[in-house]
Amino acid sequence: MNVFGVDIGGSGIKGAPVDLDRGDLAEPRHKVLTPHPATPDGVAECVAEVIEHFGWSGPVGTTFPGVVTGSVIRTAANVDKSWIDLDGGKLLGDRLGLPVTVLNDADAAGVAEMTFGAGRGRKGAVMLLTFGTGIGSALFIDGKLVPNSELGHLELHGHEAEKHASTKVKDDEELSWERWAHRVQKYLVHLEMLFSPELFIIGGGVSRKADRFLPLIKHVRAEMVPAELQNNAGIVGAAMAARQD
């Protein structure tokens, strides 16, 4: 069964039909740049462009980089603040003329990884972290999602963690892999102190280069593995949320 998934990020909006039997993209994804400012209408137009690229007609799942309750947007750290308190599902559904489900971006990626990827069958506390424009988090206890954890906004050394250790910061400050891994290590140690996870799943686009930085991270007791679905996890998880049996 195919359902369309869209991953809305601070820098890019990407999507594709997803084969939910395999947990993988049914076709190569299509990506457009996130508009700046990333207003609701501007983002909705980009989502429509992605979907129209495939001529899709049917349910659509979309992620959002912030807290989502029901389909209402509650925070908007890396997109325009005018999203806050909007019904994202209604806004996108009206623009697309299709049924739309909206959920937190890292939660979507986490659900996909727990079902089809690195978290399959894992019990206890599992935490997926997506490193990109910001840092997203998804926390699972015995396979059950604790939604909207948004742990990228924890304070770390006087700053929001994502302002210190995201891949955007790595690029903006031209950090070496070693220096960036040291920052990520401090963040993971802080999370470990608070939540004692048994497994960290490291996602986002940088997961494709996990061999460049994961071996450099020390002093973390939990197992650390790269996301198996890599940067497609959000698309897959969004489609899973929109599935209508």
| 34-52 pLDDT tens trace | 999 999 999 999 999 999 9
Residue-number span of the structural domain to which 69 is assigned: 2-107+233-242
Give how far Cα 145 sits from Cα of 25, 170, 230, Å: 23, 29, 19
Backbone angles phi and psi of 52, in degrees to 5: -65, -25
Q: Are strands 68-69 and 72-73 parallel, antiparallel or unpaired?
A: antiparallel
Query: Do 224 and 237 have their domain in common?
Result: no
Q: Which parts of the chain register pLDDT below 50?
A: 245
Query: Do 93 and 170 have their domain in common?
Result: no
**Residues 7/16, Cβ–Cβ less than 8 Å:** no
Query: Do 103 and 140 have their domain in common?
Result: no
Secondary structure class of 31 (helix, strand, coil): strand
The pLDDT score that the predictor gives to residue 245 is 44
User: Position of tokens 């820098």?
Assistant: 11
Residue 155 lies in a domain: yes
Query: Do 34 and 131 have their domain in common?
Result: no
| Distance of alpha carbon 213 from alpha carbon 170, whole angstroms | 12
User: Position of tokens 């050394």?
Assistant: 157
**Residues 69/19, Cβ–Cβ less than 8 Å:** no
Query: Do 78 and 151 have their domain in common?
Result: no
Encoded tokens for 204: 């986002």
Query: Do 103 and 29 have their domain in common?
Result: yes
- The half-sphere exposure of 26 on its side-chain side, counting CA atoms within 13 A, is 14
Measured between alpha carbons, how far apart are the two ends of the chain, in Å? 9
Domains: count for the chain: 2
The pLDDT score that the predictor gives to residue 244 is 65
| Distance of alpha carbon 99 from alpha carbon 149, whole angstroms | 26
Encoded tokens for 4: 């369309």
- With 0.85 as the threshold, say if the pTM is over it: yes
